Structure 1
Amino acid sequence: MPEAAVKAVLWDIGNVIVRWNPRTLYDKFFKEPAEADRFLSHVCTMDWHVAHDLGVTFADNRAPLLARFPEYSDAIHAWETRWWEMFSGPIPETEAAIEALHAAGVPQFGVTNMSHETFPGTIAMSPAFKRLRNYVVSAHDGVMKPDPAFYALACERFGLTPAEVLFVDDSAWNIRAAETFGFDVHHFTDPAALRPALEARRLL
């Protein structure tokens, strides 16, 4: 793909623009790390959390867990009531890149697997979110990354062809699917590598 063909950036949100990890909360919640491990691997698992990203409410999604694991009632409720303690703030390198791209006139959009209940609060965490022109949010749109239909919806909504897109995500799974779809991709693992990746594509 000619590098100059890329003209817009699609940003994942969690662990690309803001840092999110349930351990940030549950390491405070449980006294023993092994107990936090047990809870996150057997009770509130990432497979269970997917339902939030598809639009199931926190209240509805936790009901079966409360029945199965009454001893973890407080911790299960904390997935919602202390949700924001899972975040450890915006990623400065990404914020700076978004501002630089905005100044350069590069169109930017957000694409995320996220609950409709947490999306408004998440995009209030950084002024950088105001630079993104539009979003595809899984809970709102009924489709999740890495489904190719998610990427197709983003192109349709944002008026882009795949060849015009640089997609930035922390998930290797999402990145592989997006690359197969036709996006240029940057796997976000090191914040310091972000700006060089944008410069290599002549976006900055």
Structure 2
Amino acid sequence: MTEIRHIVFDIGKVLIHYDPNLPFSRIIPDAAERKWFFDTICTHDWNIEQDRGREWADAEALLIAQYPDRAEHIRAFRKHWREMVPHAYEGTVALFKGLIDAGHDVTMLTNFAADTFVEAREMYPFLNTTRGITVSGEVGLIKPDVAIYHRHAKDFDLDTAHTIFIDDTMVNVEGAKAAGWQAVQFTSPEMLRDDLTAFGVLK
């Protein structure tokens, strides 16, 4: 079994909850209309470009030019962002803190807009406790592009063969493996504990 010397955490849906429906259930109460809005206007592909580094003002202007009657709803996405990340996952955070306290080398690699990540660090101080973080919006790269894994490994001097990555999205897990890392998909704190035990990180 490969010895694990470096542990890298994703953040959204691994350490903290994320759901745009939380504020938008109030902003657009009709479920069908809300689904149309997310499928057509403030889509995943639109939002991921902020994770890649696009400024929110530019992102909003792009959509408002196409959907001027939806300007208020478009601006609401950034305005009410904090409501989309209402709590941390206590079980995962306990594991995360335990690994750091036990002396393991823990870093984070996340797809996150640069400015909202500043807010996340204010809301969740445990995000400031690792040796370092690669934020996609700050480096202009996003998972699952292997370049962001290579960038993280270089910046934090990781031995990739002895690195394990934890992410909730399988395509990002596969991206890490393509970059030469070990990787597991996060589904629950209990499964993560089992995975880390299987890799010899936990006893």
Q: With structure 1 as the length reference, what TM-score do the two structures score? A: 0.94
Aligned pairs for 1:98-137 (under 5 A) are 98-137=96-135
Distance 1:127 1:49 in 2: 24
Q: Which residue of 1 aligns with 2:13?
A: 15
**What is the one-letter code of the residue matched to 2:119?**
G
Q: Which residue of 2 aligns with 1:144?
A: 142
Distance 1:132 1:51 in 2: 26
Aligned residues: 202
Distance 2:172 2:46 in 1: 19
Which 4+ runs in 1 deviate beyond 4 A?
Answer: none
Distance 2:46 2:150 in 1: 26
Q: Which residue of 2 aligns with 1:33?
A: 31
> Is contact 1:93–1:194 with CA below 8 Å preserved after alignment?
no
Matched residue SS, 2:86: strand
Gaps of 5+ in 1: none
Q: Which residue of 2 aligns with 1:84?
A: 82
Distance 1:188 1:125 in 2: 22
Q: Which residue of 1 aligns with 2:165?
A: 167
**What is the one-letter code of the residue matched to 2:165?**
F
Q: Which residue among 97, 122, 130 is the counterpart of 2:95? A: 97
Q: Which residue of 1 aligns with 2:52?
A: 54
**What is the one-letter code of the residue matched to 1:123?**
R
Matched residue SS, 1:40: helix
**Residue deviations 1:67-114 (CA, integer Å, cap 9, x gap):** 211221111011111111111310111110111101210011110111
Gaps of 5+ in 2: none
Matched residue SS, 2:87: strand
**What is the one-letter code of the residue matched to 2:95?**
A
Identity of aligned residues (%): 31
How far 1:31 sits from its partner (Å)?
1.6
Distance 2:121 2:191 in 1: 23
Distance 1:42 1:12 in 2: 27
Query: CA-atom RMSD, angstroms?
Result: 1.2
Q: With structure 2 as the length reference, what TM-score do the two structures score? A: 0.95
